[in-house]
């Protein structure tokens, strides 16, 4: 990978053409540059990528609500097929925390400080569900 990139008009045109369809990682590989170089140049050119992950479905939220508190990210990764950070942020938005074994019993790990921080940053955070809630398509019954 190149340490420094001198951007030519041809490289800019290629980035404008490929970045919206392929994203930073694929363009970096094609052009022999780092993801950071490609992302910075795309931002400078005002080019946006359309390779976002799909929105979270109610079924994926159910998996998080059932597995994340006891198994954490590792228990959710193979079932969801999403990136580690995506799972972490979604769990935060849903107000989920890990349960830890303290004194022989499972208790929720405090996530309220994170929730307060998220709210202060303007993010919406769902309140945690009671332990005995039954989930049907992401809604407590």
Please report, in tens digits, the pLDDT of each residue of the chain (141 residues total).
Answer: 455 668 999 999 999 998 888 888 888 888 999 888 998 999 999 988 876 667 888 888 888 888 888 888 888 888 888 888 888 889 988 888 765 544 544 445 444 455 666 666 677 777 666 656 555 555 544
Q: Do both 84 and 116 map to the same domain?
A: yes
Q: Which residue is listed with tokens 């107000």?
A: 95
Q: Judge whether 96 and 111 are in contact, CB under 8 Å.
A: yes
Q: Supply 42's token pair.
A: 């795309």
Residues spanned by the domain of 80: 58-140
Shared domain check, 30 and 79: no
| Number of folded domains that form the chain | 2
pTM higher than 0.85? no
**Which segments of the chain are extended strands (E)?**
99-102, 105-108, 135-136, 139-140
Contact 137, 59 (CB under 8 A): yes
What phi and psi values does residue 123 have, to the nearest 5 degrees? -85, 150
Q: What angle do CA 55, 56, 59 make, to 5 degrees?
A: 140
Cβ contact 68:91 at 8 Å: yes
Residues 28 and 80 placed together within one structural domain of the fold: no
Q: Within a 13 Å sphere around the CA of 97, how many CA atoms are in the beta-carbon half?
A: 18
Does residue 4 sit within a domain? no
Q: What pLDDT was estimated at residue 107? A: 47
Residue 53 lies in a domain: no
Same domain for 26 and 63? no
């Amino acid at each position: 990978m190149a340490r420094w990139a001198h951007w030519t008009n041809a490289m800019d045109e290629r980035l404008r053409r490929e970045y919206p369809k392929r994203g930073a990682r694929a363009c970096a590989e094609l052009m022999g540059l780092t993801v950071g170089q490609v992302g910075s140049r795309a931002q400078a050119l005002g080019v946006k990528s359309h390779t976002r992950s799909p929105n979270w479905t109610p079924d994926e939220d159910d998996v998080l609500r059932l597995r994340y508190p006891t198994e954490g990210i590792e228990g959710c990764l193979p079932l969801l097929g999403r990136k580690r950070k995506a799972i972490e942020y979604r769990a935060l938005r849903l107000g989920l925390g890990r349960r830890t074994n303290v004194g022989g019993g499972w208790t929720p790990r405090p996530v309220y400080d994170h929730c307060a921080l998220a709210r202060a940053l303007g993010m919406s955070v769902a309140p945690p569900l009671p332990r005995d809630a039954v989930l049907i398509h992401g809604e407590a019954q």
